[in-house]
Copies of this chain bind each other. A is one copy, B any other.
Amino acid sequence: MREDFHDELARVNSSLVAMAKAVREAMRQASVALLTGDYPLAQRVAAQDAQVDVLYRLVDERVLQLIARQQPVADDLRSVLTALQAAADLERMGDLAVHIARAALRRHPSIAVSPELVDLFQAMSTVADQLAAKIVVALSDRDEVLAAQLDADDDAMDQLHRRLFQVMLDPEWPLGVEAAVDGALLGRYYERYADHAVNVGRHILFLVIGKADS
């Protein structure tokens, strides 16, 4: 019975790994599309989100089957339910990558990010990718040390997000309202992507070592 429980939990985990890889790739591609104005790439990001949704339903289904078959209680039950929360956060990360891709589509053939903000958004996309990469490894290797780092890693995103608003609200800001509105929303999408990555890190801690998910 216990062997079965851990086998089934491992299968749930493998679907989470697949989700994490997909939402990492989605954000990488969305960021490239945003910064280079690559219309077909942005379209691809939007279309591929359906795969993340399929994986989400797979996690959901596997968790339900696991609970019904194994009837876990206490910490085991909590671990299993944590997988559902991680899947929900990953699904949302995929949605945010799509929002970024859509911003690229909306401004085509212009580039949605004004030249003054390219470096900042390049840096935000790098942090987002590092967070997602860490989630993939932490889930794959059940590495609680990596998972625990995500919270601190997010500080880099918060700093970039604050810097973004300083730049846009500077009286010297040379651009108009549209560029600032785009900047504010895009900044929010990257920040939220990172917030969800931190949540996933907390869920992994619980999945791996049963540590309190505070």
Contacts and interface: CB of A to CB of B under 8 A. Distances in A.
A73 interface: yes
Interface in A79-104: 81, 84-85, 88
A177 B168 contact: yes
A177 to B, nearest CB: 4
Nearest to A78: B64
Interface string A173-189: 10011101101110010
Contacts of A67: 67, 73, 77
A68 B64 contact: no
Contacts of A168: 177, 181
Interface string A98-133: 000000000000000000000000000000000000
A156 to B, nearest CB: 21
Contacts of A176: 177
Interface in A155-214: 165, 168-169, 173, 176-178, 180-181, 183-185, 188
A174 to B, nearest CB: 10
A108 to B, nearest CB: 16
Given A64-B78, A71-B71, A165 B181 contact: yes
A145 interface: no
B181 A169 contact: yes
Given A177-B177, A180-B181, A185-B185, 4 more contacts: A64-B78, A176-B177, A177-B180, A180-B184
Interface of A: 63-64, 67-68, 71, 73-74, 77-78, 81, 84-85, 88, 165, 168-169, 173, 176-178, 180-181, 183-185, 188
